[in-house]
Structure formats: structure tokens, C-alpha cells
Chain A
Amino acid sequence: MSPSPGDLVLDAQDLHKTFHTGRSGLRRARVSAVDGVSLHLRAGESLGIVGESGCGKSTLARMIVGLERPDSGSITVHGKDVTKVRGRDRRLLRSEVQMVFQDPYTSLDPRMTVLELVGEPLVVHKRVTGTAARRDRVAELLGLVNLAPELMHRYPHQFSGGQRQRIGIARALALEPRVLVCDEPVSALDMSVQAQVVNLLRDLQERMGIALLFIAHDLSVVRHVADRTAVMYLGRLAEVGDTDTVYDEPGHPYTQALLSASPVVDRTRRRLSSRIMLAGDPPSPSDPPTGCRFHTRCRFSQERCVTETPALRALGETDPRTVACHFTEEVRQEALAR
């Protein structure tokens, strides 16, 4: 299964992150945001991460780009563990992983022109010297995201949401990263504009061979962008594998419920009545359930799920995904019968 080291651009192993959030009663409250997540990304590949709010997907992204330090675990870029290196090495490695933020209205400094915004990483990392060279490079970057280079002297407020998100993408591309981490890159955009940005990201990934880590709560967008998909629930991976397999034959009861709840634009398939309804809300990550963290909402829950944490395991020699469920075989059987 494991790819040859040459292909691997990012390898995260057993990441843990716990936040301390003041006191609740006598104990210090702790939120286990990410609990033992491992992922890898190969060059030119796109990996989607889906899950509901509070599942730890944004914390995972922030650790991978270096905005948050994991409590334990390693993140290897180019064969070097970036959680260990410091100073200049760290900065050099960090330029390999760049981030596109969710909200293009708040993530761009309103007092900087597009030239300054997109050129800033070039200055910080001393990639391009000289004003003219920098302007040329910014023009080139704007061209990559389908924005006219003439617009580089304007300010963010003069652009629409979709255009602002393109500026954010151009800025992230400035250092020619190997990995682009996109945290909900289209959810703040108007629906008629989302497709433009999704297509752009897909194009860039294919044309420039960038690996894409695409985080979203919207399952349909991820299906479109990701080659592989990871489903997260309360800080852990529930299922990881080839996107079509995960979507068409989900092996984890949570993946099934998530897919079933996702609204579909198709009147012949309205499933309000036939869908798998999850009872209640996701439990709080400050007090996660024991054993399998999904057992409190799971239709298949048994005693073993309460006590024993299921590990990610392969379903068979040929099945291109892994599932963290004790009873995934039964889950699949039932799904086929439905």
C-alpha cells in the first residue's frame, strides 16, 4: 500500500492535539481536537477531508501548515520532520505547504493592494529581488488564477468574493508550494461562483502537479475535487479511501449517515423519509465517548464499541480504503440489503 518515498510529499503520523479551555468545575477542561490521525499525500494528488463542525478538520489543517504545533506525532515534508526543525530550515520547509483560507473577506489585509498581497510572500522569503521582477511575478500569478494583471493596483474591497478567493489562491501559490491546504475554500462564496473556484483549484492541481488537501463540510464539493477522501468524526478518522468507493459503498455507519443527510438536487430521490437519521448532535469533544467515539449515535452500536476503540483496518486485499469500525462487514451487508 505505501507509496515509494519519492512520490510522498507529505506524511503525517499519529497526530494528537488537545486544547486547554479554562476550567469546568474542579477539573481543567480539555478538548481533544485531533486524536491519532495519520495521513499522507502524494505529488499531484488531492485528498478531501469531510466532517461536521468540531470534528477537528480545521485543527488538522492548521497543524499541517504549521499554525498549530501538534502535541505528539510527526509531519514529514520532503523526508524532514517539520515539527522538529527550527529557524531557517523551518521557514524553508514551510514554504512547501501553503494555505487557502475560508473567508476571502477577512483573510486579505484591506489596506494592501493586490500587488502587495500577492508579492508579500516573495519578499518575506526573498524569492524575487527588485520591484520590476516582483511585479512580473505577481502578474504571472494573477494570470494563473484567471485575473487580469491590470488589477494588481486595486484593493480587496474592489473585488467580488470569487475574485478575492482567487487573490488568496494566487498568494498561496507565490512560493510554488508542493502542497496547498484549502480550508472550506468555497463555503463563503455565492453559489453561482463556487464552481469557478472549484474548477480553478482542480486545474491548478492537474497542471502544476500540486498536492491538494481539501477540507469541507459539503460532501458534494469534495466528491468533485478529491481523489481520496477521509471522513473525520470527533478528532479521529472514521474512513479513508478512494473517493468513489467511500461515496458509493460507505463502510462506516457515520459515512453512511453523513451521505444520507446530504441534500441532493433531484426530486425523484427526495429521501427525507428514507434517510438514515442520526439522533442528536455530535457529542462535545471536551468529553468524548469511550471506545468508538461514534457509538452514542450509531445504529449498529454494541457493547464492544463502548469499551474498545476500533483501529483503521483494510476491508480486503482489493478494497482501496480503510475503515475504523468493528462491524463494518455487517454495516456493508445491511447497506446492500437496503
Chain B
Amino acid sequence: MESSTDSTSRALEVRGLSVTFTTRRGPVPAVVDVDLDVARGELVALLGESGSGKSAAARAIMGLSDRNATVTADTLKLGDTDLRTLSEQRHRKLRGTRMSLVFQDALSALNPVLSIGDQLGELFREHRDLSRKAARAAAVDLLGQVGIPAPARRISDYPHQFSGGMRQRILIAMAIALRPELIIADEPTTALDVTVQAQILELLDTLRRDLDMAVLLITHDLGVVSEVADRVMVMYAGRVVEAGSADDLLSRPAHPYTEALLRSVPRADRREGRLHAISGSPPSPANQPAGCPFHPRCEYVVDDCRTTRPPLLASTVNAARFAACHRSEEVGHVAVAG
């Protein structure tokens, strides 16, 4: 997918990314032919359900795929660096300094037997050659930046002494410590309460503006996407089925899956009658339907959908909008009318 951003500000450029897992029952394609761009200062959301391939794609970009995964791509570039040809050692050096990952579960991502100051300080000592004292001072600064009250006092505390929201802040602090160009946040707020989720989303939003970072947000939550994303890519069964600016995509969905999802989420600000339910459940990556993978659940299904998989094409009226549907123009019309 082409983005409207020019190449100078492009932090991440991905073309034709595929991830296939080798299992006892044969190869399972988890990600198929995904194109993705994130510019500096931009927040792109990768929206999908479990098994849609969103996390496998993120891990492939980070170079953290499982051993049984085969990753192929036509282009996989962080700034000007080609990630495909990088040695494992150089790749490792890159993680943390130029791109970093924020996990969902902060408690298992932090080392329980090291104090927060040691874990944050390690980053500076390892990558920036700071002295122990200077690293500690830098760590205190960082904790303050992500909104931890009285950072100088809490720097010697251990992960279990922090609440869930605070631990997520610490994880974000570690991710931004070395000013990376790209942050990949994998469901960073899923384990948190809504009042804390709001704080974390706002923190991510402020930091990427202040530090001019590219953020790739992996999420299954339409509400979160609507709150913070500039652009959205919707994944279903390993492929991108729709992409575009968040404003446009959420108000004028062009793929029946996105459109049905938007209609099925209940809203806190008004009460409707019955929810619009999508029949069936998402396919397992190992066992995908022929043709368009959404066709067994789709309300717009025609014969063509059962045999021919629709390619991801740019809209005829808006070059920044993409959808993989034989009938995407009709979907758009219905959504506007409704």
C-alpha cells in the first residue's frame, strides 16, 4: 500500500511481507503479502482479531519471529536500513536503539528481580556507554517523562511494587529510552482498566508528537483505533483487507468486514435495539475458505467471492484508500446512506 508520505519521513517501509509457520500438519500462512508504511510522527493502527496475523506481522518486522516461522518480504526497511539482510547481531543492536516493542503484559516483560532503575539504566549503559550514575539520572528523567510520580524515590523499586498502569508506563519508558524511530505497541492497553487505558493512550499520543516517532499500534479494539490512529489497516485471515485514513475508513468503510464490525460494536453513548451480529467466527489460519476469506460471513457475498480472492485495490475516488472486495463500491454507498 502506498502512503501519502514522502520517502524522507518514512520510518518503516514494508512490501510483500509474508510469514509462514511450519507445523506438524504442514505450512500455515499467518501473514500473506502485507504492505505497510509508517511515517515519523504518525500513528498507524493494525486492527484485527486473534489469528488475523497482526502480531505475527509485528514480530516479523522486529525480527523476533519464532524459530518455526519463515519470513519473506520484497522490502523491509527501517529508515534506510534493509532489515532483510541484517545479521542477527546487528538486528539485535537495532532493537531498542532504532525500533522498540511495547508488550501487552508488562509484568512478564519486566525482570522481577531487578529494580526499575537497573533495568532502565542498563539500556543507557549498554547502548550509550553511560556511567552507572549518569545512567541512573537518565532513568529518573525518563520515568518523570512517562508520568511516574516522584521518580527519584521510585527508581529503586521492583516491578511488583507498581500497579498495572504504572508498569505499562515503565515499559513505554524503556521503549522510548534511546529515542527510536519506530515503536511497535502490541495491544498495550488491553490488560488495563478504561480510566488507566485513557492515560496510556494519551501518553503514547503525546510522546510520538514530542519525539517525532513512528508508532505502529496493534489492537483488536475499534474504540482505541478511533481515539488515536491517523491511519488504519484492517487485517483478516492474514491479509490486509482494508486501509486508509482513520477518519475516512471509520466513517465510510469499504470492506464488508469493517462495515459489519463498526455496526456490531455497542456504544456507550446511545442505546440501540439488537446489536448487528456477524455470523460465524474468524477462520483459523490453517483452514481458510477459498476465494475471499470473509465470504462465509459476508452479507454482500456473490458467486465470484467464493472462487476468486479480490486483490487489495486503491479506490477510484481516493488514491489513499484501499479495499479488497469485489463489491467495495456498494459497501461504501450503503454505509453512507445508513
Q: Which residues of A are interface residues toward B (Cβ below 8 A)?
A: 52-53, 160-163, 190-196, 198-199, 202, 217, 219-221, 223-224, 243-244, 247, 257-267, 269-270, 272, 275, 277-278, 280-282
CA distance A194 to B260 in the complex (A): 12
Determine if B281 and A163 form an interchain contact, defined as CB atoms under 8 angstroms apart: yes
Given the known interface contacts A258-B195, A270-B226, A282-B193, the answer about A264 and B267 at a Cβ–Cβ threshold of 8 Å is: yes
CA distance A265 to B228 in the complex (A): 11
What does DSSP make chain B's interface, helix, strand, loop or mixed? Answer: helix
Determine if B198 and A261 form an interchain contact, defined as CB atoms under 8 angstroms apart: yes
CA distance A282 to B165 in the complex (A): 10
> What class of interface size applies to chain B in its complex with A?
35 or more
**What is the minimal beta-carbon distance from B26 to any residue of chain A, in angstroms?**
20
**What is the minimal beta-carbon distance from A244 to any residue of chain B, in angstroms?**
7
Determine if B277 and A196 form an interchain contact, defined as CB atoms under 8 angstroms apart: yes
Determine if B201 and A272 form an interchain contact, defined as CB atoms under 8 angstroms apart: yes
> What residues on B are CB-neighbors of A53 within 8 Å?
164, 193
> What 10 additional pairs, Cβ within 8 angstroms, besides A247-B271, A259-B268, A263-B198?
A192-B281, A192-B282, A193-B278, A195-B264, A220-B266, A220-B268, A257-B195, A261-B195, A263-B221, A281-B193
Determine if B197 and A224 form an interchain contact, defined as CB atoms under 8 angstroms apart: no
Determine if B49 and A264 form an interchain contact, defined as CB atoms under 8 angstroms apart: no
Q: Which residues of B are interface residues toward A (Cβ below 8 A)?
A: 49-50, 149, 163-166, 193-199, 201-202, 205, 220-228, 246-247, 250-251, 257, 260-262, 264-269, 271-272, 274-279, 281-282, 297
Determine if B271 and A278 form an interchain contact, defined as CB atoms under 8 angstroms apart: no
CA distance A202 to B277 in the complex (A): 13
**What is the minimal beta-carbon distance from A242 to any residue of chain B, in angstroms?**
11
Chain B minimum-CB-distance residue to A52: B193
Most buried by A among B196, B197, B275: B275
Determine if B282 and A190 form an interchain contact, defined as CB atoms under 8 angstroms apart: yes
A-B contact pairs, 16 of them (CB 8 A): A52-B195, A162-B281, A163-B281, A192-B264, A195-B265, A196-B278, A220-B223, A224-B271, A224-B275, A247-B268, A258-B194, A264-B226, A265-B223, A267-B246, A270-B227, A277-B198
Determine if A263 and B223 form an interchain contact, defined as CB atoms under 8 angstroms apart: yes
Determine if A198 and B266 form an interchain contact, defined as CB atoms under 8 angstroms apart: yes
Determine if B267 and A265 form an interchain contact, defined as CB atoms under 8 angstroms apart: yes
**What is the minimal beta-carbon distance from A274 to any residue of chain B, in angstroms?**
12
> What residues on A are CB-neighbors of B274 within 8 Å?
199, 202
Determine if A190 and B50 form an interchain contact, defined as CB atoms under 8 angstroms apart: yes
Chain A minimum-CB-distance residue to B247: A267
Given the known interface contacts A52-B193, A195-B278, A281-B196, the answer about A262 and B223 at a Cβ–Cβ threshold of 8 Å is: yes
**What is the minimal beta-carbon distance from A46 to any residue of chain B, in angstroms?**
13
> What residues on B are CB-neighbors of A191 within 8 Å?
49, 220-222, 261, 264-265
Determine if B276 and A278 form an interchain contact, defined as CB atoms under 8 angstroms apart: no
**What is the minimal beta-carbon distance from A261 to any residue of chain B, in angstroms?**
4
Chain B minimum-CB-distance residue to A244: B271
> What residues on A are CB-neighbors of B271 within 8 Å?
223-224, 243-244, 247
Chain B minimum-CB-distance residue to A55: B193
Determine if A277 and B199 form an interchain contact, defined as CB atoms under 8 angstroms apart: yes
**What is the minimal beta-carbon distance from B4 to any residue of chain A, in angstroms?**
18
Determine if A265 and B276 form an interchain contact, defined as CB atoms under 8 angstroms apart: no
> What residues on B are CB-neighbors of A259 within 8 Å?
268
> What residues on B are CB-neighbors of A195 within 8 Å?
264-266, 275-278
**What is the minimal beta-carbon distance from B190 to any residue of chain A, in angstroms?**
10
Determine if B267 and A223 form an interchain contact, defined as CB atoms under 8 angstroms apart: yes
> What residues on A are CB-neighbors of B276 within 8 Å?
195
> What residues on A are CB-neighbors of B164 within 8 Å?
53, 281
Chain B minimum-CB-distance residue to A162: B281
Pick the contact of B222 from A202, A265, A278 — CB < 8 Å? A265
> What residues on B are CB-neighbors of A247 within 8 Å?
268-269, 271
CA distance A190 to B224 in the complex (A): 15
Most buried by B among A162, A220, A243, A263: A263
**What is the minimal beta-carbon distance from B49 to any residue of chain A, in angstroms?**
4
**What is the minimal beta-carbon distance from A289 to any residue of chain B, in angstroms?**
15
Q: What 7 A-B pairs come out closest when comparing CB atoms?
A: A263-B223, A52-B193, A261-B198, A160-B281, A195-B275, A195-B277, A195-B264
**What is the minimal beta-carbon distance from A278 to any residue of chain B, in angstroms?**
5
CA distance A4 to B163 in the complex (A): 45
Pick the contact of A223 from B50, B166, B250, B266 — CB < 8 Å? B266
